[in-house]
Amino acid sequence: MKTILVTGGTGFLGSNLCRRLVNDGHKVICMDNNYTGRLENISGLLGNTHFRFINHDVCEPLSFDEHLDQIYNLACPASPPAYQGKHSIDTTKTCVLGALNMLELAKTHRATILQSSTSEIYGEPLVHPQTENYRGNVNPIGIRACYDEGKRCAESLFFDYYRHEGVDIKVIRIFNTYGPNMDPHDGRVVSNFICQALRGEDITIYGDGHQTRSFCYVDDLIEAMVRMMNSPKDFQGPVNTGNPGEFTIRELAEKVVAQTGSHSKIVYKDLPADDPTQRRPDISLAKNKLGWEPSVSLDEGLQKTIDYFKREIAHPALAAE
């Protein structure tokens, strides 16, 4: 049994990860300030003696008396509407100060630390599909920069702590992920489309809908995370974790309409600034080093997510697993 800290533990990915780690027999400390995380995501874990929640902002340093074996650093708003606008400065702080504080903690405890980086570090990619050695094309002064550059800076901190402080680091670059415990109000495309379809509201495509994304079901992503954390010491990454199946946003809208049997109509809205045109991971490195590739198809994953949102819309407090 390991003692594992998960920052961002009440969020979409964090809560799914906490459940997986508790089920695997570990002692899990879930940390979050619940800015975008939701306590209901961990309601099923709160009574478990191997699980505890602490309300703490990752921007503030903290210490633990008990020994930590592993730290998963997931804390950060991840949806464009959540990290832009008035929260942009806090987003950069969360990425940078959060990484610094958690790296110091890892150094003190000699813990392995995994950074949840992002496909956003590739910006508007000029290489397709994206490989890990592609250095990206980010607008450093655009509205997504708080997140993109914050996550890039965090990666550089991780590698400096590895080179100069001997910290055992792991870096994964997460591509679009969806599934149960997503917040219906987070503004991301999968949650928006499914909730709009279930409520019979217009489905809002931004731009012409020809932009592409690759959608990974959450269970597949969590499996990659756990494999990366427990990979050999001489492998730091970064490694792309995502589903290489690539779909246009228009195709996604059509799938959601078909799978929900909705009568919603598709409408077109302005495309936000710096919205990437295309995104697809090359996952050769993950296959090779982690023996990992996604196993859940978009149709199958969407169905499970639709079922979750049906419960969430009917009984918000009970939907989280």
Catalytically active residues, by annotation = 147
Considering only residues 206, 223, 248, 259, which one is a binding residue for ligand UDP as defined by CB under 6 A? 206
Contact pattern for ligand UDP over residues 152 through 171, marking x by CB under 6 A: --------------------
- Contact stretch for ligand UDP (CB under 6 A) within 14-22, 148-156, 188-196, 304-312: 188-196
Under the binding rule (CB under 6 A), the answer on residue 202 touching ligand UDP is no
Under the binding rule (CB under 6 A), the answer on residue 205 touching ligand UDP is yes
Considering only residues 152, 188, 227, 280, which one is a binding residue for ligand UDP as defined by CB under 6 A? 188
CA distances from 216 to 34, 144, 298, 301, 309 (A): 24, 21, 8, 8, 17
Q: How far apart are CA 293 and CA 151, in angstroms?
A: 24
Contact pattern for ligand UDP over residues 77 through 116, marking x by CB under 6 A: --xx------------------------------------
Under the binding rule (CB under 6 A), the answer on residue 192 touching ligand UDP is yes
Under the binding rule (CB under 6 A), the answer on residue 246 touching ligand UDP is no
CB of 115 within 8 A of CB of 171?
yes
Contact pattern for ligand UDP over residues 119 through 138, marking x by CB under 6 A: --------------------
Under the binding rule (CB under 6 A), the answer on residue 204 touching ligand UDP is yes
Under the binding rule (CB under 6 A), the answer on residue 249 touching ligand UDP is yes
Q: How far apart are CA 178 and CA 252, in angstroms?
A: 12
**Contacts to ligand UDP from residues 257-286, by CB under 6 A:** 271-272, 275
Considering only residues 101, 115, 116, 176, which one is a binding residue for ligand UDP as defined by CB under 6 A? 176
CB of 178 within 8 A of CB of 215?
yes
Dihedral, 292, 100, 188, 310 alpha carbons, nearest 10: 70
Under the binding rule (CB under 6 A), the answer on residue 198 touching ligand UDP is no
Give the rounded distance of the alpha carbon of 109 from its chain centre. Answer: 25
Selection from 107, 30, 112, 11 nearest residue 71 by Cα: 112
Q: How far apart are CA 72 and CA 9, in angstroms?
A: 9
Considering only residues 16, 211, 214, 305, which one is a binding residue for ligand UDP as defined by CB under 6 A? 211
Q: How many CB atoms are closer than 10 A to CB 170? A: 26
Tokens, residue 252: 């996604």
For ligand UDP, how many residues bind (rule: CB under 6 A)? 15
116 vs 176, which CB is nearer to ligand UDP?
176
- Contact stretch for ligand UDP (CB under 6 A) within 67-75, 121-129, 201-209, 289-297: 201-209
Selection from 231, 208, 161, 198 nearest residue 306 by Cα: 198
CB of 310 within 8 A of CB of 262?
no
Helices (H), 110-231: 145-165, 189-199, 218-229
Binding site for ligand UDP (CB under 6 A): 79-80, 176, 188-189, 192, 204-206, 211, 213, 249, 271-272, 275
